A = this chain, B = another copy of it.
Amino acid sequence: MTNPILNPVAKQHRDNTFSEYEVALANRNSGTLLESLQQEVTPVGAHYLLSHFDIPFVNDAANWDLNFHGCFDSPFTLNFNDLTNYPEITQRVTLECAGNGRRLVAPHWPSQPWGHEAVGTADWTGVRLGDLLEQASISPACTEIVFHGTDTGIDGGAVHNFARSLDVEMAQHPDVMLAYAMNGQPLAPQHGYPLRLIVPGWYGMASVKWLSEIEAIDHAFQGHQQVGTYVYREKAGDTGIPVTEMRIRSLLVPPGIPDWSTRKRLLKPGNTKIVGRAWCGGGRPVAKVELGIDDQWHEATLTPATSPYAWSHWEAEWLATEGHHIVSCRATDAQGSCQPIEPYWDTAGFGNNAVQRVEVWCEDY
């Protein structure tokens, strides 16, 4: 028998049903509960979580080393406890999975089948990556910095540890950080304990968890997580365009009460306050949010974000009338880029920022 893990058959897109392994991925990975969008900071344990491989459980951070090697003039190894020698910073950052919304791209790519729930906001505490890179002294020949996690598995038939690169300029960006705390507590095992990268403004794949090696290289990194996936492609086999910053997006807290299984909403007619969050990549502010009622758009009240990399709260009033409604929202950034009604096509369903549509049945109960 041929080992199908190391010799995988090419995946096929699927229409409106899902396979058992897609369901298993959905159970394994955790979405943020949409009602928690009421909260500025997502409660611990409710933040979305995508784990490519198994969680490496680390018993004691004191034994954790971070090794700087490759094209550095002063390569060195830092123990976790040495991090206290660098200035501590805390940043509020909204992270979204690049695959958020994959399920809603038709036909869909068989992978983690996110709807809208792969986004969350946390206060991350740690040190600036730039301070450490300065100490390691990047050689002139270096073009990229590679971040290696200890989590290991197989994807596309290749055994590898999770690893991603940034170009030298982005790696030196003052807001890129190594985080050891989330919402004031040590990182949970599943969020990268003891140490992870945080690349604010980018989709979550860049924020490598269980970070153990930082490697300076003089060529383009060819790891699977860099070039095999997390690339926008019209069709499989295209070179494509790397996935980087989050696209403009907004979500709303579904109003009324839910049906257990379909999650459709029942709402009493009358004045209803709709609240939600909106965000944009690259530290750019959200310029406008609109509430959509049955595809009629009304400008919402937007509260400025509490950090350049955090989502903004928005709210709007709706006089809900009896009957069936589709409630949605869309955000626009300062450059006029606005969420599309229908998803952009991407073969693997990355970067789907199409508007959320919530089905609401409005009647007295």
Contacts and interface: CB of A to CB of B under 8 A. Distances in A.
A324 B3 CA distance: 8
A36 B57 CA distance: 8
B28 A29 contact: no
A116 B134 CA distance: 47
A102 to B, nearest CB: 10
30 contacts: A1-B323, A3-B361, A4-B264, A4-B361, A5-B259, A6-B361, A8-B259, A17-B18, A18-B19, A20-B103, A21-B263, A23-B23, A23-B115, A24-B263, A27-B117, A28-B263, A30-B30, A33-B55, A36-B55, A36-B57, A43-B188, A43-B189, A44-B188, A45-B46, A45-B190, A46-B190, A53-B260, A110-B261, A111-B261, A153-B258
Contacts of A44: 44-45, 188
B259 A155 contact: yes
Interface of A: 1, 3-6, 8, 11, 16-31, 33, 35-36, 38-39, 43-47, 49, 51-55, 57, 103, 110-111, 113-115, 117, 152-155, 159, 188-191, 254, 257-266, 323-324, 361, 363, 365
A83 to B, nearest CB: 22
A150 to B, nearest CB: 12
Contacts of A363: 3, 6
Contact of A257 (B114, B154, B259): B154
Going nearest first, the 8 A-B pairs with the smallest beta carbon separation are A45-B45, A26-B26, A17-B17, A27-B31, A155-B260, A30-B30, A35-B54, A18-B18
Q: Is the interface of A mostly helix, strand, loop or mixed?
A: loop
Nearest to A11: B261
Contacts of A22: 18, 23
Given A111-B261, A361-B5, A43 B155 contact: no
Given A103-B23, A257-B54, A189 B155 contact: no
Given A43-B190, A365-B6, A20 B20 contact: no
B23 A35 contact: no
Nearest to A117: B27
A22 B20 CA distance: 11
A260 B365 contact: no
Contacts of A47: 45
A120 to B, nearest CB: 11
A331 to B, nearest CB: 22
Contacts of A153: 257-260
A23 B152 CA distance: 26
Contacts of A257: 53-54, 152-154, 159
Nearest to A257: B153
